[in-house]
Amino acid sequence: MTELAALVEFAEGYGVRCTEPRVLRDRANLLVHLHPAPVVARLPGLVRALRRDTERRLSVDLELAGFLHERGIPVVAPSTELPPGPHRIGGRSCTFWTFHQLVGGTPGPGEMRTGIAAMHAALSGYEGDLTGLGPLADLRLGLERLDWSDQERVIIDTKIERFARLLAELPAQPLHGDAHSGNALVTTQGLVWTDFEDSWRGPVEWDHAVAALGAVPVGPPQRGAAVDQCSALRALHGAMWQQVLRPGTETAARARARLLV
């Protein structure tokens, strides 16, 4: 049985009828719309190369999205058509989400800033365990799993520990973790946020740095040393992920050079 067929069969066991599974994205994660049902299945893809705790990340994603949805923050909410998970289907963990129809375009900078501020205000009341998550965890696992010379390992490890010291000095709270324009969907119901699996406890400046470095850059409400430090950490984090998402490409080669400067 193919993976898509296994998804359809699992959903049908809960009365969710799918006649045409549609792959929406297949890269870091696999997203499948169980059309015509208003349900999207999400399964870890390439993210597994840098994360050994994918099931925990899926649980965090569901919990935070549900937490924010209950507080009126516009997010892609866990599905109510069937238990949202995580489930084990076809050899991979899977979660189920409410489908939103995209209308195209990108969110405006003001709308993005307002949305991030509202999420931060709501997330400040979240008391769940986010220990061991965040960009430093990804960087350390990338250092462990990917191929580096001894000298390269020393260079990267030194950078990681420097950022660990800097972060320890900044106020921390639960964050979205990956608040760029690609995770702010423009839908028929307006802007909705998605993808909380990168959430962690860190400085709010991290989310602003991520937004500023996204495909549609959104500058922070105000600059400062903390934003600059988070921007440098995000650049390092992104360079590590390029080794996984685009191996063997010129993009990955340039990113590798940035890791070692």
> CATH code at 75?
3.30.200
Residue 6 lies inside a defined structural domain of this protein: no
In angstroms, what is the C-alpha Rg of the chain? 19
pLDDT at 223: 78
Residues 6+ apart with CB under 8 A from 217: 211
Residues 2 and 182: their CA atoms lie apart, in Å, by 29
pLDDT at 222: 76
3-state secondary structure of 144: helix
Q: Provide mean pLDDT across the span 162-178.
A: 96
Query: For residue 241, what are its two tokens?
Result: 């992920």
247 and 154, same structural domain?
yes
Weakest-pLDDT range from 164-178, 201-215, 218-232: 218-232
Query: For residue 110, what are its two tokens?
Result: 């003001």
Residues 218 and 111: their CA atoms lie apart, in Å, by 10
Q: What is the mean pLDDT of the chain?
A: 93
For 80-104, the pLDDT digits (tens) are: 999 999 999 988 899 999 999 999 7
236 and 118, same structural domain?
yes
168 and 63, same structural domain?
no
pLDDT at 219: 82
156 and 63, same structural domain?
no
For the whole model, what pTM was predicted?
A: 0.93
Number of domains in the chain: 2
pLDDT at 1: 59
